Chains A and B, each alone.
Chain A
Amino acid sequence: DTGVSQDPRHKITKRGQNVTFRCDPISEHNRLYWYRQTLGQGPEFLTYFQNEAQLEKSRLLSDRFSAERPKGSFSTLEIQRTEQGDSAMYLCASSTRQGSHEQYFGPGTRLTVT
């Protein structure tokens, strides 16, 4: 257990539905990251926050995806109008202070879109 938690751990939804995932980072970490991982591939970066500011977004983050970190603590990732191609593991990670090399990953949320 790294101290990063994610909820839910598993989500099954029908195509076209909206889903929201939550990530609680390690409390003193001011940086939070979202990744997506499909079967047989390494994680792919989606976006990251420093405190409540979203500082970087990948091209993978289409307009159906939105992430927030309203108070600089927990974060949510919402996917609107889900598609079967959104089926993946969604990972959250956090790190401390600027320039930190080490990220602590949560266990992930596995999304299945039917």
Chain B
Amino acid sequence: DAKTTQPPSMDCAEGRAANLPCNHSTISGNEYVYWYRQIHSQGPQYIIHGLKNNETNEMASLIITEDRKSSTLILPHATLRDTAVYYCIVRVAMGHTSGGSYIPTFGRGTSLIVHP
């Protein structure tokens, strides 16, 4: 799997956009970019994923560069409850039987602190 590089920590003011970068310069053509987050003392939570195109859902937007070597997760209006560790993961499906399964390999992530 491609390795990812994320800043160890970031901070953001409440109500502002939080832009979390991720570098995955060795990503291959069939690898997806995933973002999960983990709030203290909870299990990880899926946020969003993408392959080539930018994606948006109710939680966040994912911007993937044209060469796919980096991406940015955008939380448009950060709240105090968005304080968490954010993991950027690149992954192909693990092939077993038909369909495969996307099993994320987590690194250390970025610790985002949203302050008042």
Residue ranges of A at the interface with B (Cβ–Cβ < 8 Å): 2, 4, 31, 33, 40-45, 48, 50, 55-56, 91, 93, 95, 97-108
Closest to A92 in B: B43
A88 to B93, CA, bound (A): 27
A103 to chain B, nearest CB (A): 6
Given A42-B87, A44-B106, A45-B105, does the pair A103, B99 have CB atoms closer than 8 Å? Answer: no
B74 to chain A, nearest CB (A): 19
Given A105-B45, A108-B43, does the pair A56, B100 have CB atoms closer than 8 Å? Answer: no
Given A42-B87, A98-B97, does the pair A91, B44 have CB atoms closer than 8 Å? Answer: yes
Given A40-B108, A103-B46, does the pair A50, B96 have CB atoms closer than 8 Å? Answer: yes
* B: interface residue count bin: 20 to 34
Give the chain B neighbours of A4 by CB distance below 8 A.
43
A45 to B1, CA, bound (A): 14
Closest to A108 in B: B43
Given A42-B107, A101-B32, does the pair A50, B101 have CB atoms closer than 8 Å? Answer: yes
Question: Does the CB pair A99–B43 fall under 8 Å?
Answer: no
Given A40-B108, A105-B45, A106-B43, does the pair A99, B94 have CB atoms closer than 8 Å? Answer: no
Question: Does the CB pair A56–B96 fall under 8 Å?
Answer: yes
Give the chain A neighbours of B100 by CB distance below 8 A.
98-99
A100 to B49, CA, bound (A): 11
Give the chain A neighbours of B104 by CB distance below 8 A.
45, 103
A31 to B108, CA, bound (A): 25
Give the chain B neighbours of A2 by CB distance below 8 A.
43, 45
Question: Does the CB pair B93–A99 fall under 8 Å?
Answer: yes
Given A42-B107, A105-B43: 14 more A-B contacts, CB < 8 Å: A2-B45, A41-B108, A42-B85, A42-B106, A44-B106, A48-B101, A48-B103, A50-B97, A50-B101, A97-B99, A98-B101, A101-B49, A103-B104, A104-B46
B67 to chain A, nearest CB (A): 22
Question: Does the CB pair B97–A55 fall under 8 Å?
Answer: yes
